[in-house]
Amino acid sequence: MALDPQIYGAFPTARPRRLRYHPGVRRLTRETILSPDRFIHPLFVREGKGVRAPISAMPGQFQLSIDELVKEVVELEKRGVGGTMLFGVPETKDAVGSDSMSDDGIVARAIRALKEVVGKDFLVIADVCFCEYTDHGHCGVLKKCGRGDADWDVDNDATLANLVKQTLVQARAGVDMVAPSGMMDGMIAAIRRGFDDAGFERIPIMSYSAKYASSFYGPFREAAESAPKFGDRRSYQMDPESSPGAAMREIALDVQEGADIIMVKPALPYLDIVRMAKDQFPGLPLAAYNVSGEYSMTKAAAMNGWIDEKRVVLETLNSIQRAGATIIITYWAKDVAEWLA
């Protein structure tokens, strides 16, 4: 729509650069303002003591033993970051991801350790999935499909029962929020019923409602040791070529089932989906995940001197927030909190 010159004026009366000439004026007229307390920092926890294992595909990120995880989270809290999201890297994996359903599993113990040191305002969030815990790397219980000798798929309904077990373990450990990421049909309803029946009705669910089978997840698979041993995840994660309406349907189903916060993942290639979700579900908090591939590409370019990392990262996160995300999950949370201080 063309601007009405009678309302907005025209040159030389109208000079938009007046609002850009002074840094104080630019600051005063901004609508997108990043705040560290809206950031969630993903962290990877593994067995051992004193372990701070670098993730080669994600410079500056580490797999951490619980004692090192506690140190890292204390630092995040000091910098004003809103919370962390935990991903477990167990010592032993099996066909169903038993470690994630054990009160003595790596994430359950990590949650208990963190809740002893962080304040009540810092959120300890647990990712809810099975790919890191299964020996096959898929996000649930497998079943034969009968279409060929290598055609296996995730059994949706059998996986729902295990998701409930996993989240109840996390709830008993003291988690503040859970974030189911497996894209199983009915997962939010199952988890919500499980929580309500067990007396955990106050724990919110942040659902990976529109999670795409994206090529941007590659570095994460090293970080979480979660690469599938065969096939891919296209039978349960969303097709990148699918219609935006399909994403809205997925989100609507999660909302009906009891999701408290909705999420789009990845963020940058799907800013159109973020904007559409903001417009169609205006009453719900909206998260976007600035994923590993987005992080690693920026890091690689910065390490080669091709871009200014700080400026590119701030511009990136501003774009995610401008699209409509009120919560940003990002591996830069700690750095950005320092830059904005």
The residues annotated with a catalytic role in the active site are 211, 265
End-to-end CA distance of the chain: 39
Reply yes or no: is the peptide bond before residue 266 cis, omega within 30 of 0.
yes
Distance CA 72, CA 84 (A): 10
Residue (of 230, 209, 206, 227) closest to 217 by Cα position? 227
Residues in the chain: 341
Q: Are 170 and 188 in contact (CB under 8 A)?
A: no
Residue (of 40, 50, 44) closest to 80 by Cα position? 40
Q: Which SS3 state, helix, strand or coil, does residue 213 take?
A: coil
Chain position carrying tokens 């955990």: 200
Distance CA 1, CA 16 (A): 18
Q: Which SS3 state, helix, strand or coil, does residue 17 take?
A: helix
Rounded to the nearest 10 degrees, how much is the dihedral formed by the CA atoms of 91, 173, 264, 60? Answer: -50
Q: Which SS3 state, helix, strand or coil, does residue 235 take?
A: coil
Distance CA 175, CA 110 (A): 10
Count Cβ atoms within 10 A of the Cβ of residue 16 and give its class: 0-12 exposed, 13-18 middle, 19 or more buried.
exposed
Q: Are 212 and 265 in contact (CB under 8 A)?
A: yes
Amino acid identity at 116: E
CA 126 to chain centre: 10
